[in-house]
Amino acid sequence: NAGVTQTPKFRILKIGQSMTLQCTQDMNHNYMYWYRQDPGMGLKLIYYSVGAGITDKGEVPNGYNVSRSTTEDFPLRLELAAPSQTSVYFCASRRGEGETQYFGPGTRLLVL
Amino acid sequence: QKEVEQNSGPLSVPEGAIASLNCTYSDRGSQSFFWYRQYSGKSPELIMSIYSNGDKEDGRFTAQLNKASQYVSLLIRDSQPSDSATYLCAVELDTGRRALTFGSGTRLQVQP
């Protein structure tokens, strides 16, 4: 099993550009999550999904969108990138409530 | 009051000593608790999970849970320089949001 994979590993965006961060898991997990982590700070939940077709906002959803059309994939869309979105983005998944959560390797995003 | 609180550190211990990391949480109904380790520039990885009051041991690591006092701790025996990392406490709060809530992490430094 590859676990949770994320692409790209690193990206530089100009202000106002858009992009999609990809996340795929091969563990047949129902729950998937997107976090951002600013330097020296903790994880902040952006969006999450408890199954295909179901998504919900986390703590910091503004400026982002998600979709969950399959169990495996949970892409994060950034519209109109802003410098405040410079961060490291982690995707994570788990089977369900109370279960261990597994993280992807992260995507480092720089908005200039 | 933050929902999950940790001392940010750094906690500095000499090699071979016991490192004690603490975490308090706000929701008395919480049932699932996790400790993650995060090396600089890497994604969080699970160290231990604990669900019942008392101690749970795994090698050099012991997790301790006290639901009445709403705290969970992690002890690392025979600390090694390779244990130097940020340790994240995560709690499944009884809020209806099906996501873990992470503390901001405690940075541990093990001095050779």
Span B80-109, pLDDT tens digits? 999 999 999 999 987 777 899 999 999 999
Contact B32, B51 (CB under 8 A): yes
How far apart (Å, rounded) are the C-alpha atoms in residues A86 and A35? 13
At residue A39, the pLDDT reads 87
- Which amino acid, one-letter code, is at A3? G
A98·B31 Cβ contact <8 A: yes
A98 near B CB under 8 A:
yes
Is the per-residue pLDDT at A5 higher than 90?
A: yes
Compare A86 and A98 and report the one with higher pLDDT: A86
A104 near B CB under 8 A:
yes
How far apart (Å, rounded) are the C-alpha atoms in residues B102 and B34? 9
Over residues B15-65, the pLDDT tens digits come to 999 999 999 999 888 989 999 999 999 999 999 999 999 999 999 999 999
Contact A93, A31 (CB under 8 A): yes
Average pLDDT, chain A: 96
